[in-house]
Structure 1
Amino acid sequence: DTPDKPEEEVKVYPRIPVLESKKTAANLDSEKEVFEVGDTVVYTIQTRNTVSDSLAENLTISDVIPAGLAYVDGSLIVSDNGIGNAVNGTVTANFGNVPDTGWRTVTFQAKIESGQSGKKIENIATVTGDNVDTPNEPKTDITVDPKDPKLESDKSYSITEKGEGNTDAEHAEVGDTLTYKIQTRNTIEDSLIQNLNITDSIPEGLEYVAGTLKVDGEAVTDAADEDKGQAVDADILGTFGDITDTEWHTLEFQVKVLPGQASKDIQNVATVSGDNIETPDKPEEEVKVYPRIPDLESEKTAANLDADKEGYEVGDTVVYTIKSRNTVSDSLVENFMITDELPVGLSFVDGSLEASDGGKASFEGGKVIASFGNIEDTEWRTVTFQAKIESGQSGKKIENIATVTGDNVDTPNEPKTDITVDPKDPKLESDKSFTIAEKADGNTDTEHAEVGDTLTYKIQTRNTIEDSLIQNLTISDTIPEGLEYIAGTLKVDGDAVTDEEDEDKGQTVNGDILGAFGDITDTEWHTVEFQVTVLSGQAGKDIQNVATVSGDNIEIPDKPEEEVKVYPRVPDLESEKTAANLNADK
């Protein structure tokens, strides 16, 4: 099934050696896939004779290390007992006469020198022998990548020209001409910034002086043209292309300080960027415009001393905090003072007044006074005190305005805050009673109600909690069976009202009585009165009458009630009869 395949090899003489060679390069740092200046390159050169039974006489590998690389002393390794050396930038390895076809190897290291960033370094070795007509020239090349750049940037200004009448040579004033200088550099040698740009937007309060733009010291036009800079609509741009050096690169231009900027701090932030810069630099500079006139910032807050309460009620203690500071650095507030006249409805809590930063505070004539002397910094000064909410303030808004000033402050601050005093929760007390208004003909029992008598019901209620509120207080009553309402007898808080559903405070409709009192903030008694007639057939009856007292904020209405016992009291028997087995178990 499977034929034999006998074979034989004929070696033709003479046996002339033929070399095969190769060369590779790798980074000594095996975790790096690229090469940068300062890296160490490991070169490997291999060669062999490909013709068996031949002899390569005096086999030699040599390599002239190219410019940009420096041989690493002690790094040369030669296989198969070859003899190697590195002299004057040339690596040489001699293997003598080589009769076999095994590989001979030479490895050495070379460090990439500064100045090679972005370049390709080609390395060509030479492999030869005395009886080799055409030497091998194995080669390899590496490309040296730039390192990652790192920016260092700065922004500054100088006074170029003082405005007319300005004399402060050390500080910027309105009308002065300033020169901004933005400079940046790459701090990493053998690295690259791709397409370096510096941009700046002129801030409010300054105006660009046309024709003053310079890039790296060279004047450029303001127009968006082919030169390296432009100034369009207060946006400044300087372009520098690819940067491989570590020199400073600059953008300069002039601005004028506009009116209205005295005492202002004008912050100007530039942007330095490049296509391969992940996080642009943001150099900034602040221009403090003189003269430095103080400008106050103030706040006032109120809080309940009882931290668990969100609102305020009569009797609560309010903690007031007044804060103020000068917002203009390098200026002075002379005789800095905070005062607060306590409004009506509040009473000062003795011993509660505190002033920060060594301020001297007192309470005199209904006014809090705190003095801090001359203030040179921009730190907050604080005054705190407590005041108790007096009776009668329920439902009112209490506004409290402080005054913060200084001898050289033209317009004092008036920080204010207000609180709304919520009514307390109300509590009802109610009662219902009747009296005999008129005896019917023939009735003689003046102490007890009889059929035909006229009775006057009186329902009264009051709020027992001072400084509280009952919203929309009402008293309602339904005339019970056995009684009949007498038209026109309804009174609310002593005043007669009509029975109709109209705009007065009471009504009587189909035996339903209603008295409406609106919102009640006092603790006085409020009443509903009306008359009824005792109907026939009620002798001996007990007529129960339950009224309802309620309000929109009353969770559980009061239910005052009164019982009318109608006379004469004719006995009426109730009887029962039962039967049971004497044997209780049955």
Structure 2
Amino acid sequence: SAQTITITYEVEVENILANQNTTSLVNTATLTYQDASMPFPSDTATVTVIEPNLEVTKTIESGAAGSDAGDTIEYELVVRNTAVAGTAYRVDLRDVLPGNLLGAPDGTGTAPFFLNITVDNDGGAVVKNAGGALVAGDAVFATTNETDDTLTWPLFDMPPGTTLIITYEAVLSNFAVAGEMLTNTATASYNSLPDGAGRDGSDGDDDDTASTLNNYNEADSADLTVDSSIAIQKALNATHADNDFTIGDLITFDVRVDVIEGVVGNVVVTDVLPAGLDFEGPVRIVAGSNISYDGTGVAVEAPAGTLTIDMGDVTNTSDSNSANDFFIIEIDARVLDVPGNAAGNPALTNSVNLTSDVGPAGPDTQNIDIVEPNLVISKVPSDTTPTLGDVVTFTVTVRHDTSSADAFDVILTDAIPAGLSYVPGSTAGQASVNETDPSIPVFNLGTITLAEMEKSFSFQATVDLDATVSQAIDNVIVGSYSTQPGEPTIERDYSGNGTGTVTPDVDAFIDATKTVALVVDNGTVGVVDPGDTLEYSVVLENTGGVTANNVVFSDTLPANTTYVAA
């Protein structure tokens, strides 16, 4: 009697460079047995590799400028798992204060050095690897350069899409040097598995470095200029969720200039855009009513990529409120379609500095990473050996492969080859179709986001009756997509294709054999003369494997002959 045997086994996704986020791994099982005939039965199962991706952002929320010994600095540390799927396990987050920020509580330097720690764990979604939500009380002080100069936490896990926000205060030491730049750096390393046996950060590189295997590391820093009457900070505008941008994106940088209450003369801001970014003016000055300036406030670009903004004398009317002692210059730049702008390449660094009568400030920098879509197209026929006249359904799937950005304006064009005819109105699924020329239908998939991963559709084609039997027909569909929707001036276009092959076959085949004989010879013997009668014999033989139905036989009489009715 029939039996079913189920074999269950486990496999491990190898930690190798080829296994990157969204990689598809196909496992094929084949059954062989005694006296089995080819082809052996087989089946496949596909798994998709997922990876976490952390982004760390460190900012100074208050005290970025004009702070001196004994002043309190508030920091914010934001850790995001930006992955669509993939939990970051065993996150090891470390925040190291430089020596002259170990002045708590009043500049004298009496530990603890991290004050008023708060934790927003995304509604309890960020949990310790050992169990329980991560809370402020879990903070641990460790030693990196000086005793208790490092804020650490128990290893914790971050599911995809979660955000951890940590704030704390530090106090400038009485030994802080005027004009000194103090860099506070936060680092995070993590693992792909909860037990720590997966991909980790042991190779030391940033997680955006695709050429490194164990690259699960992320870091960011915040710079503080001590006892400065003017300071400058470069950041991305709050409208940007992260520092990932693709070709054609418009980036808004915020240059924040903090000034003392009073007048600061001859303030000039110089912003240097990296190769690959193009300035789109004008700049915008955002300031409160307490701030005024007598310069142009206009960006002059010379040489290309270097912006000089003359603010003249900046006046900050005194109101004893340090929270509004700043103005912001918003600068727009477009990501160009140039070879250097490619996913996986080193980050683009935008630098800004300032000069004034009270001295310089900066430089401060902001990095951006280039991301790109990368789609693959598959095309599968419902029958690879259809009979002449059969209708074949082609299923087309377009999916993200090693993408790091959404794909827009996904268009596929199918030049139907000889031997096949497109069936108008047969398209179904996630594509709209233009059938103006049925021999070249055009399918529109619109946008394919990283979140949805793929789109698919199907259409039908008839195998022509005059198609060549046993000769393969390659039906190639060509796709195009871009980094931006519509037709902007700057974007990057991509192309790809997929092939579905069918080989026409026949179930019935009629072989015709025709002979002729001279049956009435009224003239010269053996010679066809006028009035003689010829008899044609036709044998139709079905050499196929099934009955041929509705067979129609036709014969064109040669010239100078007349059919003799039976």
TM above 0.5, yes or no, is: no
The higher radius of gyration belongs to: 1
Higher RCO structure (Cα 8 Å, ≥6 apart): 2
* TM bracket, shorter-chain basis: 0.3 to 0.5
TM, length-normalised to structure 1: 0.33
Q: What TM-score do the two structures reach when normalised by structure 2?
A: 0.34
